[in-house]
Amino acid sequence: MYSEKVMDHFQNPRNMGEIEDASGVGTVGNAKCGDIMRIFLDIDEDGIIREARFKTFGCGAAVATSSMATELVKGKTVQEALQVTNKAVMEALDGLPPAKVHCSLLAEEAIHAALWDYAQKQGIAIQGLEKPKADIHDEDSE
Ligand code: FES
């Protein structure tokens, strides 16, 4: 039911861990399954993502999509990273079962949240980037 790529990224996740003093950190969660994903980005003065790492407390597909998403955004500009949608992550993983599509959505949301955090810290606006819907802490307090 899972592609070889999903199994590979689940069993050998790339970029797992944290970045100290990250340029941007985004934490998102899915209220239904309770899974949480945090993505750290290190962005240089030219707006290039030098490093991306993740911490995910979630299902195997969430781990695999975090792993692939961090791989995909590395070396990209902030604008290019916005194009790393959940669809792009799923395609790179050769697909996900329908019940697991929301896991890849978490990856897209976590990247956007980390970029939003970066923009806030820099005092800049990133074209096409909207404020993340729900901060994980808001969901917790519901
Ligand atoms: Fe919720 Fe995978 S089951 S993120």
Given a contact cutoff of 8 angstroms between Cβ atoms, the answer to whether 18 and 7 are in contact is no
> Is any atom of ligand 1 closer than 6 Å to the C-beta of 90?
no
Domain ranges for the chain:
4-123
For ligand 1, the distance from its centroid to the CA atom of residue 61, given in whole angstroms, is 7
What is this structure's pTM?
0.92
Range 4-123 classified under CATH 3.90.1010.10: yes
Low-confidence ranges of the chain (pLDDT < 70): 134-142
pLDDT tens string 15-28: 999 999 999 999 99
Query: Is 59 marked active-site?
Result: no
Query: Is 103 marked active-site?
Result: yes
pLDDT tens string 107-127: 999 999 999 999 999 999 999
What amino acid is encoded at 7 in this protein? M
